[in-house]
Amino acid sequence: MQKEALRLRVNGSLREALVPHHRSLLDFLRDDLELTGTKRGCDDGSCGACTVLLDGCSRLSCITLAHGVPGRSVTTIEGAGQPGRLSDLQLAFISEGGLQCGFCTPGMVLAAGALLQRIPHPSEEQVREGLSNNSCRCTGYGRIVQAVRRAAGAPEETP
Amino acid sequence: MIGLPSFRLHRPTSIEEAVGLLAEHRDDAKLLAGGTDLLVNLRHGLATPSHIVSLAEVPGLDRIDCSPEHGLTIGALSTLESLATHPGVEESFPVVVRAARTISGPTLRAMGTVGGNLCLDTRCHWYNQSFFWRQACGFCLKKDGTACHVAPGSSLCWAAYSGDLAPAFLVLGAEIKLLSVRGERRVPLDRFFLDDGLRKFDMASDELLTQVCVSATRAHLRGVYSKLRIRGALDYPLAGVAAAARIAGGGTFHEAALALTAVGPRPFLVEGATEILEGLRANDEDAIERVAHLARRLSNPMNTTWAMQPAYRRLRVGLFARDALREMGERGP
Ligand SMILES: Cc1cc2nc3c(=O)[nH]c(=O)nc-3n(C[C@H](O)[C@H](O)[C@H](O)COP(=O)(O)OP(=O)(O)OC[C@H]3O[C@@H](n4cnc5c(N)ncnc54)[C@H](O)[C@@H]3O)c2cc1C
Ligand code: SF4
């Protein structure tokens, strides 16, 4: 098995490990760095639970090789906010009830963050399109969309 | 959890180095672009190379040059998202952008590349499964087995080509450039795809697709891409129809072309459509129906997906073709 030293900036700090060539970015984050906030769902790119940010853009870490993104900067949900210092987006997910079991939430929050970087004030349609690589099996998406729009400054919706 | 099999990753920093590695390892090597198809297939044991040649550090392969004077050239490593959001391509070659925008979602489009999309493996519900599933249900001709479950007795594989960009490039008469240590060759895209889910492409294992080129003479054609799928996002096409045409001042069809995807082992131009429509009025319902019928007749979807019946996919090909021709006749790009 071919192993090689890997250096990646993860959540702002430089991390190093001896990693086999065939390790996915997801396995590197979860197993080598013990950053288990990034979730393993389908392992084939179709559910979005493993979404992380690579230089600010969303990326599916289960179908990315750890050695395949040299020199890039990775942000996982652990780097998106801290207990007691949550991001506006995380707070909006809580206040709008944009989660139930929570398994898809790390990926949703990061994908939504990347969307708001591209489109600061998205329409409902744009939020739905922007999150279309992320599946949620509990909420029915309505409250997730609402949370993202609230975080972007859209007024509260009356039921 | 299904781990990735072990392999050696090569990260060439020049195109010469990349083709040199392909020449050295031939069938035991696979090119890695965005990895959105290949890594899934590796996990499922559908490809088992010892060497992976990553294109991530090869410079100069991700340029999109687009002008009405020089036409369109797209580097193979350009991402689907950079194509889907390119204002110049949208203006001059709208059918390409329309097709790109239907692919999966924005995260995947930012990873997947144009070269990887054209060279996508063909798909079938007996094939795109885990090793465990395939072992339990019976391997097939395409990988590890001896018989086709879709067409028992056939010596061909009928897995469906399921890329969305190919038909859009086909209606624009695109060419691709293939590079190897033996030199470069240009291939018209409609000769690149083979009607066999096993061999798939006219591309040797040591060749690398570097560019897709569309001539300036095809700029500003009106274009439509329609795609049949289960959900409004994420899914591969179960049938796809691309159409392009120039509508002259008097409202007549010129250079009209239709191409189909996901209804056979290769994407293909609807032969005869251009000749039927040339010079006819864009509201000639009779001609439109004839072409729609032709498209439907030439499509050959097989039972390669549980999601939809072949007959329904075929029916929709005809309806997509009819509606695309009507839409191009009625309004601008
Ligand atoms: C959830 C999901 C949904 C998807 N939905 C769609 C969809 O709706 N429509 C669609 O068309 N596709 C879809 N795809 C498939 C795929 O993501 C895209 O087609 C993408 O463009 C593939 O590009 P890539 O760079 O990731 O390819 P890779 O996985 O890197 O490569 C794919 C194949 O092409 C070969 N290859 C790559 N680049 C070159 C090159 N330059 N020269 C020669 N060979 C090369 C590789 O060796 C490999 O065999 C989907 C995939 C997933 C996981
Ligand atoms: S068409 Fe037949 S040979 Fe091809 S993948 Fe499906 S079952 Fe296998």
Residue nearest to atom 10 of ligand 1 (CA): B163
Instruction: Give CA–CA dist A62/A49, Å, rounded.
Output: 9
Protein residue with least CA distance to atom 15, ligand 1: B37
B237: Cα separation from own chain's centroid: 10
Q: How far is the CA of B201 from the centre of ligand 2 (A)?
A: 17
Q: In this complex, do B108 and A133 lie within 8 Å of one another by their Cβ atoms? A: yes
In terms of Cβ atoms closer than 10 Å to its own Cβ (0-12, 13-18, 19+), residue B13 is exposed
Q: Can you give the pLDDT at residue B277?
A: 97
Q: Do residues A133 and B105 lie in contact, with contact meaning Cβ atoms separated by under 8 Å?
A: yes
Q: Is the pLDDT of residue B266 over 70?
A: yes
Angle at B31 between CA B29 and CA B37, to 5 degrees: 115
Quickly list DSSP for A68-119: GSTT-EEE-GGGT-BTTB--HHHHHHHHTT--SS-SSHHHHHHHHHHHHHH-
- Give the number of the atom of ligand 2 that is nearest the alpha carbon of residue B148: 2
Place B331 in a pLDDT band, splitting at 50, 70 and 90.
Answer: low
**pLDDT tens readout for residues A54-110:** 999 999 999 999 999 988 999 999 999 888 899 999 999 999 999 999 999 999 999
Domain boundaries of chain A, sorted by first residue: 3-79, 88-151
Taking only the tens place, the pLDDT of each residue in A123-151 is 999 999 999 999 999 988 999 999 999 99
Q: Cβ B40–A51 below 8 Å, yes or no? A: no
For residue B332, pLDDT over 60 is answered with no
The response to whether residue B104 sits with its C-beta less than 6 Å from ligand 1 reads: yes
Lookup: tokens for B79:
């991402």
CB distance from A63 to chain B under 8 Å?
Answer: yes
B residues 102-131 near A, CB within 8 Å? Answer: 104-108, 110-111
pLDDT of residue A159: 53
Tokens for B254?
């010129």
Separation between Cα atoms, residue B332 and residue B98, nearest integer Å = 14
* Residue B250: per-residue pLDDT: 83
**Within a 13 Å sphere around the CA of B105, how many CA atoms are in the beta-carbon half?**
27
Ligand 1 atom nearest residue B37's Cα: 29
Note the Cα B130 to chain centre separation in Å.
24
Cα distance from B216 to chain A (closest Cα, Å)? 31
Task: Report pLDDT digits (tens) over A9-48.
Answer: 999 999 999 999 999 999 999 999 999 999 999 999 999 9
Q: Cα separation of A54 and A10, whole Å?
A: 9
Distance between CA atoms of residues A127 and A115, nearest Å: 8
Cα dihedral across residues B227, B228, B232, B235: positive or negative: negative
Of B2, B5, B110, the CB nearest to A22: B5
Taking the CA atoms of B87, B93, B96 and B98 in sequence, report the sign of the dihedral they define. positive
Residue B34 · residue B118 · CB < 8 Å: no
Q: How many residues does chain A have?
A: 159
Please report the ipTM that was assigned to this predicted complex.
0.94
Same fold, A3-79 and A88-151: no
> Which superfamily is assigned to A3-79 in CATH?
Beta-grasp domain (3.10.20.30)
Q: Rounded to the nearest 5°, which phi and psi values hold at B252?
A: -120, 150
CATH code at A88-151 = 1.10.150.120
Cβ-nearest to A68 among B56, B105, B107: B56
Question: Which DSSP state fits A38?
Answer: S
Closest ligand 1 atom to residue B178 Cα is 42
Cα(B156)–Cα(B219) distance, integer angstroms:
38
On chain A, the residues whose CB falls within 8 A of the CB of B2 are 43
pLDDT (tens digit per residue) in B186-238: 999 999 999 988 999 999 999 999 999 999 999 999 999 999 999 888 899 99
- pTM, 2 dp: 0.96
